[in-house]
Amino acid sequence: MKNGTQRKSSSGGKGKSARETTKKVEMAEGVAVEEWRDGVPSVDPLNEAGELVCTSETTLTNEQMLELYRYLQMTRLVEERLVNLYRQTKVVGGVFRSLGQEATAVGTAYALAPQDFIAPLIRDLGAVLVKGIRPREIFAQYMAKAWGPSEGRDLNIHFGNLEKGFIGPISHLGDMIPVMTGIALGARMQKRDVVTVAYIGDGGMSTGAFHEGLNFAAVQRLPVIIIAEYNWYAYSTPTSKQTAVRHLAEKAAGYGIPGHIVDGNDVVACYEVTKRAVEWARGGGGACIIEAKTYRRKGHAEHDDQRYLPEGELARWERRDPVERYERHLLSGGFATREQLEAILSDVRREIEEDSAWAESSPMPDPEKAAYGVFDNSIVPPAFRPKVLER
């Protein structure tokens, strides 16, 4: 990917080695795998002051760039509010953060058309928000409230909204790949113009369902885009214990589909690469993998003390924080003023305040509601607890 003001920021040289010619991943952008070291590109986009910013080559309008900022901040602040609610014991289950990964979810989802479908994972709250799900739904869901989209039956982002093109995940990683393949298959039969995006991580890609789903999508040339988030850990297990490949995008070769690598902490780059993939998929190109190099800065969930992290790793990634980076990008690139960003931020804060209050005001579900909805209850009655020893 070309960048206007790019400079070398690390020692990774670009000299052609013998290894490069023998071990090069097929990628539309022609990015050789040697250009990535420890999840960081050898060349980072920097501003005039030498600070890390985002890629300057973009088709985004100024208005869109501000909207991206809004979604990044909303993702981070919704999660921060969830942590507060968790500490107040108002969240019934766990809280799963995407801190440090927000740009991947927001940037990729922002490249989709309204009719397209996503299946995010737990660290893709940003994609859910971009698809039009309101913070209030997320808060009510986490607090197991009656007004939540699953009315207290399931957790966090485990729900869906067919009108908005959001198919919630289940806990079993990989299962959404076959489902999203089916969404694309059904849409093709209905002659609907639909691209599907399934999010997965370095851990989830080890599952059988991932393989089966992607292989089938590739065989059928279905427009299924895999966003493969290399975030270094699956719970506590490092990627080196999940897979022998150095880059998740290399796996694309096994399916006969293209793979791309993008800096997952660069929201503009995430948007641009996904936009091209969506156009390609929409035009009949079929499935592909986009690997987003990012880093999970919090543990698996709030309870996880991250004792498995090597010294200094977290600090290194804090310096690549995607939200601060984008803010710098907007300001130093002249895309926004600080006042504009402040206005967006206060608007997001107000919305979170209102939505959080709304969700807190929701009642808990009526216990008997547990019996409803296993089947269509106009055909099969609710599964009430049967009366025993009554004649």
Partner 1 sequence: MSTATRKEQKSSRPERGGVATFVEAIRQGLWEEMERDPSVFIIGEDVGVYGGAFKVTDGLLAEFGEERVIDTPISEAAIVGAACGAALMGMRPVAEFQFIDFISPAFDMLTNYAAKCRYRWGAGLPTVFRGPCGAGVHAGPFHSVNAEAFFLNTAGLKIVEPSTAYDAKGLIKAAISDPDPVLYFEHKKLYRLPRLREALPEDDYIVPIGKARTAREGRDLSIVTFGAQVLNALDAAEELEKEGLDVEVIDLRTIAPMDKEAVLASVKKTNRVLILHEAARTGGVGGEIAATIAEEAFEWLDAPVVRVAAIDTPVPYSPPLEEYHLPQLKDVLEAARKLAAY
Residue 143-162 contact track with partner 1, rule CB under 8 A, x = bound: ------xx--xx---xxx-x
Cβ distance to partner 1 smaller for residue 171 or 361: 171
Q: Which of 284, 305, 379, 385 binds partner 1 (CB under 8 A)?
A: 379
Cβ distance to partner 1 smaller for residue 146 or 343: 146
Task: For residue 359, give every residue at least 6 positions away whose Cβ sits within 8 Å of its Cβ, in sequence order, or none.
Answer: 136, 139, 140, 143, 145, 147, 148
Q: What angle do CA 263, 267, 269 make, to 5 degrees?
A: 55
Query: What is the C-alpha end-to-end distance of the chain, expressed in Å?
Result: 76
State the minimum distance, in angstroms, from the CB of residue 184 to partner 1.
Answer: 7
State the minimum distance, in angstroms, from the CB of residue 48 to partner 1.
Answer: 48
* 208 scored as a contact of partner 1 (CB under 8 A): yes
* DSSP one-letter code for 5: T
State the minimum distance, in angstroms, from the CB of residue 7 to partner 1.
Answer: 44
* 18 scored as a contact of partner 1 (CB under 8 A): no
Cβ distance to partner 1 smaller for residue 144 or 177: 177
* 308 scored as a contact of partner 1 (CB under 8 A): no
* 374 scored as a contact of partner 1 (CB under 8 A): yes
* 221 scored as a contact of partner 1 (CB under 8 A): no
Q: Pick the closest to residue 60 from 48, 51, 69 (CA basis).
A: 69
Provide the β-strand partners of residue 200: 228
* 281 scored as a contact of partner 1 (CB under 8 A): no
Give Cα separations from 341 to 63, 101, 143, 222, 337 (angstroms).
12, 20, 30, 39, 7
Tokens found for residue 150:
């699953």
CA distance 352 to 79: 10
Would you say 291 and 247 are in contact if contact means Cβ atoms under 8 Å apart? yes
Residue 167-186 contact track with partner 1, rule CB under 8 A, x = bound: xx-xxx--xxxxxxxxxxxx
Binding site residues, partner 1, CB under 8 A: 149-150, 153-154, 158-160, 162, 167-168, 170-172, 175-190, 192, 208-209, 212-213, 215-216, 219-220, 373-376, 379-380, 383, 388-389
